[in-house]
Amino acid sequence: MKFVHWSKAAIRSRASKAVAVLFVAAVGAWLGIFFSGTVRAEIGPVETGMSLRPAWSGETVVDASPLGTLTFRTHAAPLRLRITLENIDQDRARALLEDPRLADRLPALIETDLLDGVRALVIRSLLCAGAGALIAVLMVFRRPRVALVGLLAASVALACTGALAALTFRPNSLVEPRYSGLVAAAPSLVGSAESIVTRFESYRSQLTKLVTNVSKLYDTVSTLPLYEADPKTIRVLHVSDIHINPIAWNVIRSLKDQFAVDMIIDTGDISDHGTKAENKFVNEIGRLGLPYVFVRGNHDSMTTQKAVAKQKNAIVLDDKTKTVEGLTIYGLGDPRFTPDKSVPVSAKPGTLDEYARSHLPNVDEPDLIAVHDPDVAEGFSGAAPMILAGHTHDRRTTMFRSGTRMLVQGSTGGAGLRALEHAEPTPVQASVLYFDKETKRLQAWDDITLGGLGEQSVYIQRHVEADPDRMISPEPTNAPSPTGSVTGPQTPTAGSPLWHQGQSSPMLQRSPTEGDRES
């Protein structure tokens, strides 16, 4: 029994020592990679510095300082590849941009240069990681044989990590970059919408566009070019919940120019209390020079809606359909008017959903629907491929079972004065949506979040629609009709039905006094 007891103790001791060796080897390998330095590589006309670092999630970061950074989820291995754009060979870049024959060779040239650089970086990182593991184990245990075991373990771990990175490599990640940096540089660095619509399968084309765009930006230095509009897409700037914040107009003007949008859709709450005094704020709409589609929010009175309708290029949709820049849009104003916290906003579950369903007979196969409240949007599920909403100041997207996608916008006005009610200010948010000009279906969208010093810094997340041509089917409507009402300044009629087919509910009608009074 004593022999068995000592054997177990010896096994535990050996196991503990093996774990300790592996841990020290891992730390040494990590430090070796961390201090492996940067590999210089020329990718086309761009001089780059490449570095590899351990990370919790696999990604590739392209640092185009001072223009910004692009992040791609290219692999699943816990390694971060950082490519820093350090210089541009101006003569070579100009020759590639101006000579079509050289431009045709650019994809193959970039791919070859990139692979050569990554190969040199991997070899250097492996050597440094192995040396780090060997030195760390030798320093701790002071036994060459144990150090060799640590080196072997580190080599196996590094080989598995490299294999995982190769097996999980996602070329298509290049069409969904995350961008942060200057708003003026954003559209050119993020990439052309043309590549989204045509759905390029090869990442070589995306790399070519990235290098070409960077070359153009550096070549022009201070006079950055505007992003050229793609003739194959309809670009829509989606804004919401401005809440009379003047900074929103600066943001909208900047984004409409940089992204060359065709129209703007505002899903409500442009005002705060719906008073006549706030009407001057909407005068900026007429100066934008683009169609401005507006649907009323719960902070907008009928006075606000009329003021918007008077502006040049403004299109107010309230249970109406209109074709704008090739897109057929149905819009419905919010049934409530709740200008401040003295008026409750709550409604019984399903009421707003059924309010939307009562208007379904007026919806004739639009390309997209614009409403203010996401609860209203749910009632239109299956009536269009796309629904835009706002209200919650919390951006999100939902795919309904019907195949309809709902995009809820954050606050383009940073929630107005409400931003001061929280420890951290509400971000300023908007989105640029890309629709195919022929099918009228959403192909991709850029979620834009502004921060830093005003609108000078920007964070962009690109999303690509996985199945833009999916079938849209109506939602089942066999649920019982509710009898609740939307609370607020409306005056329900006791005993009256919630709605009649094709008519608005009398229990959801807006008060003509609160929203339309002058102040």
Residue 288 confidence (pLDDT) above 60: yes
Strands (E), 325-423: 327-331, 368-370, 386-389, 396-399, 405-408
Residue 367 pLDDT grade (very low, low, confident, very high; cuts 50, 70, 90):
very high
For range 231-244, the mean pLDDT: 91
Which domains, ranges and CATH numbers included, belong to the chain? 10-185 (no CATH), 200-340+347-464 (3.60.21.10)
Q: Identify the pLDDT of residue 141.
A: 83
What share of the chain in percent tops pLDDT 90? 27
Q: What share of the chain is helix, strand, coil (3-state, %, to 5)?
A: 40, 20, 40
Q: Identify the pLDDT of residue 361.
A: 85
Q: What is the pLDDT of residues 271-287, one digit of tens each?
A: 988 888 889 999 999 99
d(CA 48, CA 64) in angstroms, rounded, equals 10
H or E element at residue 430: strand 428-436
Per-residue tokens: 459: 């964070």
For range 90-96, the mean pLDDT: 69
Residue 440 confidence (pLDDT) above 50: yes
Q: Identify the pLDDT of residue 239.
A: 96
Residue 515 pLDDT grade (very low, low, confident, very high; cuts 50, 70, 90):
very low
Q: What is the pLDDT of residues 245-261, one digit of tens each?
A: 888 898 898 888 888 89
Residue 5 confidence (pLDDT) above 80: no
Residue 357 confidence (pLDDT) above 70: yes
Q: Determine how β-strand 292-294 pairs with β-strand 263-266.
A: parallel
CB-based contact 128:35 (threshold 8 Å): yes
Residue 513 confidence (pLDDT) above 90: no
- Asked if the bond preceding 482 is cis, omega within 30° of 0, the reply is no
Distance of CA 403 to the CA centre of its chain: 20
For range 312-329, the mean pLDDT: 95
pTM of the model: 0.69
For range 282-310, the mean pLDDT: 94
For range 316-321, the mean pLDDT: 95
